[in-house]
Structure 1
Amino acid sequence: MEDKVVLITGGAGGIGQETAQLFLDNGAKVVLVDINKDALERAKASLNAEPDRVVVIGADVTNEEDVKNYVKQTVDAFGKIDVFFNNAGINGPFAQIKDLEKEKFEQILNINVTGVFLGLKHVIKQMEVQGYGSIINTASNAAYIGSAGMAGYIASKHAVAGITKTAALETASSGIRINAVAPAAIDTQMLADIQNNITPGEPEASGEAIKQGIPIGRFGAPKEVAQVVLFLASEHASFVTGSLYNVDGGMQAD
């Protein structure tokens, strides 16, 4: 990854930060995008890298002008986009469909689906000019299953799986590869929020229940997702496109 330029949305989150650090450790330059500007600055300060190798951009991934801007700023800063980790997403409230507010459902779809779509739309245009690039979307094991109380999240991640495959087919002849990681039970703030949604005030209770459904028997670490993203971004995955890579401790196999 020496001198490669890596653009990461959801860059202030646990997986985003770990992925940024891993790419930096492998010689890349990194652009972090997130809606939370204060969290972005904290993320930048926490990274072990020369300041001129990290750029942070505040943006709403559901706003097309913001998306155009983060693509333009990345190219203005570093001249290209070699890798795009299309990672921003939210979980949303834990509620059955009959109780789920329409506005909450739409919010989840807007960030998790429209945000991914807009990122693909404008990064693909840049990569077509370059004649190459690798894009990794963040799906989930929720792309394969149903889960009571999580209709918005489940629907959104099924959509990410579908748009990943479609985008891969549309760009296969353009030197662009598009894949997705499908994490589950990764030890991040999002998982903590899910636990607290399931058992309010007692996240440990639902946490133990979740672990019982993981064949490996523990939560995953953000770096374990980052390592799969690094592989998919690299030339080691040069014949891989349109794929979803599970990072779930064996949950999907069970």
Structure 2
Amino acid sequence: MNLNDFQGRVALVTGAASGIGREAARGFAQRGALVYAADFNKAGVNETRDLIMELGGRAAAVCADESDEADVAALLARIGREAGRLDVAFNNAGITGQAHRVEDYPTSDFDQVVRVNLRSVFLGMKQELPLMRRTGAGAIVNTASVTALTGPGGMSAYAASKHGVHGLTRVAAMENAVHQIRINALAPGWTHTHVWHRPAPRTRASPSW
């Protein structure tokens, strides 16, 4: 394996303050990419940047709400201004939300989960695709979940949002194949990350299943 196969490439990772996002950011950097690590958690994303730089990699930390259109537009404008290109995007920001039966699920929490898990992917691709087209190719990966396929009890908001990621990814992939931009979704199973050790209804964190 060529461990410098991302040399000269620019990668964006959202939800990069911890868990899957942090490890992905480190992996891209270890293989030569300039990584823009973004997350709502300022302290966590700064720690990710510092870890990458301690290993000799290149990274910039950006505190942003991935579900806010203005924040996402500013993030991609910064990448375009500073790096002039975007080769890879990993849209990974997400929260689990609360666990309730459908009839008992708080509407405000349902809306928040969909906003962070699904809207963030839509806004990310909306801004990432034009920048990728500058170089004529690219790759986008969106974090979905096996939960969208299995539907575990109590997780209606999370499952619905991640099912939406699957559908959105399919449409974007079909639309952008002609532009040489590959778009795929990951559907992880249960993954041991910090988010399962504390309640996270309002915390952006790397999705864990």
TM-score w.r.t. the length of structure 1 is 0.74
Calculate the aligned-residue CA RMSD, in Å: 2.1
- Greater RCO (CA < 8 Å, at least 6 residues apart): 2
Runs of 4+ in 1 over 2 A off after TM superposition: 46-51, 190-194
- 1:127 is matched with which residue: 132, 142, 151? 132
Superimposed CA distance per residue, residues 145-201 of structure 1 (whole angstroms, 9 cap, x where no aligned partner):
21110000000010000001110000010110000111111111234348x99xxxx
Does 1:149 find its partner at 2:154?
A: yes
1:194-233 map, 5 Å: none
Could you tell me how far apart the structure 2 residues matched to 1:14 and 1:178 are? 22
- 2:106 is matched with which residue: 101, 105, 127? 101
Could you tell me how far apart the structure 2 residues matched to 1:62 and 1:174 are? 26
Aligned partner of 1:159 in structure 2 is 164
List gaps (5 residues or longer) in structure 1. 198-221, 226-246, 249-254
Does 1:90 find its partner at 2:95?
A: yes
CA contact (8 A) 2:94 2:116 kept: yes
Structure having the higher Rg: 1
CA contact (8 A) 2:8 2:32 kept: yes
1:187 partner letter: H
Could you tell me how far apart the structure 1 residues matched to 2:104 and 2:163 are? 21
**Deviation, structure 1 residue 119:** 0.2
Instruction: Give the 3-state SS of the residue equivalent to 1:93 in structure 2.
Output: coil
- 1:113 is matched with which residue: 112, 118, 142? 118
List gaps (5 residues or longer) in structure 2. 1-5
Between 115-124 and 138-147, report the one with greater CA deviation: 138-147
Aligned partner of 2:3 in structure 1 is none
Superimposed CA distance per residue, residues 124-146 of structure 1 (whole angstroms, 9 cap, x where no aligned partner):
11112321110000011012121
Instruction: Give the 3-state SS of the residue equivalent to 1:177 in structure 2.
Output: strand
**Deviation, structure 1 residue 21:** 1.1
Aligned partner of 2:22 in structure 1 is 17
Could you tell me how far apart the structure 2 residues matched to 1:128 and 1:29 are? 18
TM-score w.r.t. the length of structure 2 is 0.89
Instruction: Give the 3-state SS of the residue equivalent to 1:21 in structure 2.
Output: helix
1:177-196 map, 5 Å: 177-193=182-198
Superimposed CA distance per residue, residues 83-109 of structure 1 (whole angstroms, 9 cap, x where no aligned partner):
000100010011111111100000000
1:166 partner letter: V
Aligned partner of 1:29 in structure 2 is 34
Instruction: Give the 3-state SS of the residue equivalent to 1:57 in structure 2.
Output: strand
1:24-63 map, 5 Å: 24-47=29-52, 48-50=54-56, 53-63=58-68
Aligned partner of 1:73 in structure 2 is 78
